[in-house]
Amino acid sequence: MGSNLGDSRRLLRDALDPSERPAYEAMAAAAHRLSRGEGRSGITSHGGGEGRVALIDRVDAFRKELEAVRAAGRTVGFVPTMGYLHEGHASLIRRAAAECDVVAVSVFVNPLQFAPTEDLAAYPRDLERDVALAEASGAHLVLSPSTEEMYPEPMATTVSVATVSEGLEGAQRPTHFAGVATVVAKLLALAGPCRAYFGEKDFQQLAVIRRLVRDLSFPVDVVGCATVREPDGLAMSSRNIYLTGDERVAATVLYRALTDGVRLVEAGERDPAVVRDHMHAVIESEPRAELDYAEVVRAGDLSLPDTLSGELRLLVAARFGRARLIDNRGVTI
Ligand code: PAF
């Protein structure tokens, strides 16, 4: 296998224009080091196949690996996550692998984005499974730092993004988006120039990150990716694991409420209150759902329109037992 790989590398190199060969050689050497995790502190290799993924627990090692990739003329795709990966994450990693030469995934349950009353300690974790799923989806590196590695001393700096952070989730979880923006700013600073992939399932988070990247001029292209759903419409989420059997069935009410709301708009409804009240009624008709909000906003800045027009986003949030779930759908008129 090793010599076949060597032969194919030689063939590939020989097929290149001579001016492209040094960059190719540098990339091949970097890829080889990545797959072996040789002699680098904070890096081990995982997985069984040719595409063994490098598991990195030191932020400096992560930064250096991605710098080496770019120095070899290759592009970086970055998928930040809190782990417990599912098909939604896998779709982000696959898209990054289709669009970029090297794909890095971070797995870090960020304490800053959990309020004291929230589920930080209970948040599901399974690093072995995450590494296997990341590798199978096309990732080359997984950064999994400890909390001490990410935050060696209490953070004196907080990044907060006004306006888009304030309503919806921000109103329910007042410290949440500052925690997200702070960790994402740090992760993007470590990753360097790249394309960064985030799911539209967390639509407000995506808006916050887009604004953060624009305001602070990060050299990053933010790519929003469509929500991946179960066959009955439930949006994939690491928190779905908290649902009991009955709650799992009940949770499909979120998608039904959004779909009804979209249909109303498509049928000509232009009063946001009518659409909002209808989604409220659908969610409240489910006894296991405890509604947090249902809202229609302008997709660009998440502001509340007086009359519905242009690109809109319908967003809902509700609790089902231990699980607090959010979802959204877009409609343009
Ligand atoms: O969406 C998530 O998983 C997290 O909020 C993120 C963006 C990785 C920051 O911790």
Mean predicted confidence (pLDDT) in 29-42: 49
DSSP 8-state class, residue 238: G
Q: Please, what is the average pLDDT of the chain?
A: 90
Q: How far apart are CA 206 and CA 192, in angstroms?
A: 19
pLDDT band at residue 44 under the 50/70/90 scheme? confident
pLDDT at 300 over 70: yes
235 or 20: which carries more pLDDT confidence?
235
Q: How far, in Å, is the centroid of ligand 1 from the Cα of 183? A: 8
Residue of the CA atom closest to atom 8 of ligand 1: 81
pLDDT band at residue 92 under the 50/70/90 scheme? very high
pLDDT at 42 over 80: no
Least confident piece of the model among 33-37, 49-53, 106-110, 248-252: 33-37
SS3 38: coil
Are 43 and 37 contacting, i.e. CB atoms less than 8 angstroms apart?
A: yes
Mean predicted confidence (pLDDT) in 192-206: 98
Q: 290 φ, ψ to 5°? A: -115, 105
Are 274 and 261 contacting, i.e. CB atoms less than 8 angstroms apart?
A: no
Q: How far, in Å, is the centroid of ligand 1 from the Cα of 142? A: 15
pLDDT at 299 over 90: yes
Per residue in 50-88, is it b (16+ CB within 10 Å) or e — as a string? eebbbbbbbbebbbebbebbbebebebbbbbbbbbbbeb
Mean predicted confidence (pLDDT) in 104-124: 96
pLDDT at 265 over 50: yes
Q: How far, in Å, is the centroid of ligand 1 from the Cα of 191? A: 15
Q: How would CATH label the architecture of 42-225?
A: 3-Layer(aba) Sandwich (3.40)
238-332 in CATH: which number?
Answer: 3.30.1300.10
Pocket residue to mutate for ligand 1, from 151, 155, 205, most atoms within 8 A of Cβ: 205
Return the domain boundaries, the chain. Answer: 42-225, 238-332
pLDDT at 282 over 60: yes
Q: How far, in Å, is the centroid of ligand 1 from the Cα of 107? A: 9
pLDDT at position 14 is 55
Q: Which residues line ligand 1 (CB under 6 A)?
A: 80-82, 110, 113, 180, 183-184, 202, 205
Active site residues: 89
Residue of the CA atom closest to atom 5 of ligand 1: 180
Mean predicted confidence (pLDDT) in 203-225: 98
pLDDT at position 8 is 39
3-state helix, strand, coil in the chain (%, to 5): 45, 20, 35
Rounded to a whole number of angstroms, the CA Rg of the chain reads: 22
pLDDT band at residue 43 under the 50/70/90 scheme? confident
pLDDT at position 31 is 44
